[in-house]
Amino acid sequence: MTEEEFVIIITPFKDKIYRLARRILVSTDEAEDAVQEVLLKLWKGRDRIKSYKKPEAFAMTMTKNYCLDRLKSKQAGHLTIVHSSYTASKERLQDQIEANDGVSIVFKIMDTLPEQQKLVLQLRDVEQYEFKEIAQILEMNETAIRVALSRARKTIREELTKQYNYGVS
């Protein structure tokens, strides 16, 4: 495979790779490093890319696995997985009220979701993947993905209701 062919195949979804890495790793620098590593691995295996039915799904799976491995690695001791606690939620809600921006509020609420729900929501609602593709990327069955998506949307809906109905009985 030539460099031009590789670029033509990879270019349409390289931003999606970054957004997924950013969602998992939280840090912009770490996400950029992850994208660079994934693209390098794809380049080294470029002769096999054409054999995949869905190169984009393969690349997204590689990205997810690389990022999760990175979080688990000893080198990533300085990285933190964001977990929400009751007090942190209050602080985040205060920041959201001050920001008063619907999209940023939704993304902040997404950050408080469990990792699996966050990934499913990112892939389905932000990246617009089909359930079958998400199942392949996350190595889950479609029913589990639908349940996780439903729970994530319900949580976001409840948090938005709390946000916009604050002080109203």
Pair of tokens at residue 94: 């205060």
Options 2.115.10.20, 3.40.50.150, 1.10.1740.10, 3.20.20.70; CATH for 3-78 is: 1.10.1740.10
Instruction: Show me where the domains of the chain are located.
Output: 3-78, 86-164
Pair of tokens at residue 73: 């690695």
Distance, in Å, from the CA atom of 109 to the CA atom of 93, rounded to the nearest integer, reads: 9
- What is the helix (H) or strand (E) element at residue 148, kind and residue range? helix 142-164
Q: pLDDT by residue (tens digit) across 23-76?
A: 888 788 888 999 999 988 888 888 787 777 788 888 888 898 888 888 877 555
What topology is assigned to 86-164 in CATH? Answer: Arc Repressor Mutant, subunit A (1.10.10)
Q: pLDDT by residue (tens digit) across 80-104?
A: 444 433 444 455 565 545 555 667 7
